[in-house]
Amino acid sequence: MKRVLVVASLMVMSSMAFAGKEDREMMKNEVMPAVKDAEAKVKASCGCAMKITVDETTVKNKDDMYPVKHMAGYVADGAPTYCTDDASKKAVCQMKTLVLGKAKEATFTFKAGKGVATTDGQSACSFEMMTRELDK
């Protein structure tokens, strides 16, 4: 009986270690390049530096990372088409930092230069949701 439990425990531990490696690789090879691309596109299109981070306390696995990667892509795609005039650039540039994370709802909040965009695991905060709040 003990052997069966030990083997089962080892199988569970090894599968968790593999999932951790996959998660780290996805963060390094897919999510962070998308984040860096979004930062570069905001700087080039809007004329300001925005620091984008991933809230690793809420984004813990690949399932959480996919929508976060998409949110970074929304920023990268949206900035060039949105920042076409001074008022729009000013609206976006008031956000100095953007945190991408997971919560109960896909939302965007903004306060004191910090934006927080979240996914609920199914839906993700769009760039339009962000700019709607920034334009207020």
63-96 pLDDT, tens digit per residue, is 999 999 999 999 999 999 999 999 999 999 999 9
> Is the predicted pLDDT of residue 59 greater than 90, yes or no?
yes
**What pTM, to 2 d.p., does this model score?**
0.84
Q: Which domain holds residue 21?
A: 2-134
pLDDT band at 51, cuts 50/70/90? very high
Domain count, the chain: 1
For residue 99, what are the β-bridge partners? 53, 116
pLDDT band at 20, cuts 50/70/90? confident
